[in-house]
Amino acid sequence: MEVNLLLYDLKEAKKYWLKLSMANIKKQDANNETNQPKKNTETNQPKKKSKLLPIIVIFLLIIIGLLAFILWKIWNTPKEDDSRIGGTGIVISNDSNPNIKQELESKVKEGMFTVKMNTTWDFPTASEASSNAYVANSVNNRNTVYFEVTLKDSEKLIYTSPDIPVNHHINSIKLDETLDKGTYSAIVKYYMLDTSGNVVDSVSVGITINILN
């Protein structure tokens, strides 16, 4: 009887250990399953980073392109031509000829600039100097000036003067462009310069040009 009980206890103990082992195995499997998503999330992080990389690169390329375009625009913006070459004409101090006829004298801006010139310019031919064209920079002015002559209808530039200091005038004006015989309406535009040679203001006056032959 005692032998039977001992065998029974051994069988029960074996069953108990088997159950305990199975429980541990199931618990281990459950732990493995719960840990698996963590591994997936850890492996997904590099994938997310790798997806963001092309977007960052494209964004940087766009910024670089915009900066390059802005710099290109700055470098290619036309600057005022400091190498302006004056046309043919003789600049003379008014002190050397006090009896010069002044057909037009008008205040353009109070206390700033006085225009002295005649409004009809006659040229024997388009390639010869004018016999009567005259422009002066009054002694009352404060700025050196130069002027451009353009045709009124086409705005074609036909003459650019040399710089005219205060109390100086220019005559013997010869056009830079050839015109056919006839009468033309034109615009004389004065540019006032500061001491550095930069344009600070401008004013326009209408004239008539006659090409006689």
Tokens, residue 23: 């429980």
Task: Judge whether residue 103 has pLDDT over 90.
Answer: no
Render pLDDT for 25-62 as a digit per residue (tens, 0 to 9).
666 656 655 555 554 545 555 566 667 888 888 889 99
Tokens, residue 77: 């913006």
Q: pLDDT at position 180, please?
A: 96
Render pLDDT for 144-177 as a digit per residue (tens, 0 to 9).
999 999 999 999 999 999 999 999 999 899 999 9
Task: Judge whether residue 100 has pLDDT over 50.
Answer: no
Q: pLDDT at position 43, please?
A: 52
- 111 or 16, higher pLDDT: 16
Q: pLDDT at position 144, please?
A: 94
Query: Among 61, 43, 63, which Cα is nearest to 53's?
Result: 61
- 8 or 143, higher pLDDT: 143
**Contact call for residues 115 and 104 (beta carbons, < 8 A):** yes
Residue 170: count other Cβ atoms within 10 Å of its Cβ: 24
Tokens, residue 154: 């086409």
> Average pLDDT, whole number, for the chain?
77
- Largest separation between any pair of C-alpha atoms in the chain: 160
Task: Judge whether residue 111 has pLDDT over 70.
Answer: no
Average pLDDT over residues 111-134: 90
Average pLDDT over residues 132-154: 94
**Contact call for residues 133 and 173 (beta carbons, < 8 A):** yes
Q: pLDDT at position 5, please?
A: 47
Upper half-sphere CA count for residue 65 (Cβ side, 13 Å): 6
Average pLDDT over residues 177-192: 96
R_g (Cα) of the chain, nearest Å: 47
Q: Range with the lowest mean pLDDT among 9-23, 25-39, 134-148?
A: 25-39
Task: Judge whether residue 94 has pLDDT over 80.
Answer: no
Q: pLDDT at position 123, please?
A: 97
* Identity at 123, one-letter amino acid code: F
Q: Does domain 88-211 have CATH number 2.60.40?
A: yes
Token look-up 């109070």 returns 110
Domain boundaries of the chain, sorted by first residue? 1-77, 88-211
Task: Judge whether residue 98 has pLDDT over 50.
Answer: no
The DSSP 8-state label assigned to residue 85 in this structure reads -
CA distance linking residue 103 with residue 116, whole number of Å: 7
Q: pLDDT at position 101, please?
A: 44
- 112 or 190, higher pLDDT: 190
Residue 152: count other Cβ atoms within 10 Å of its Cβ: 14
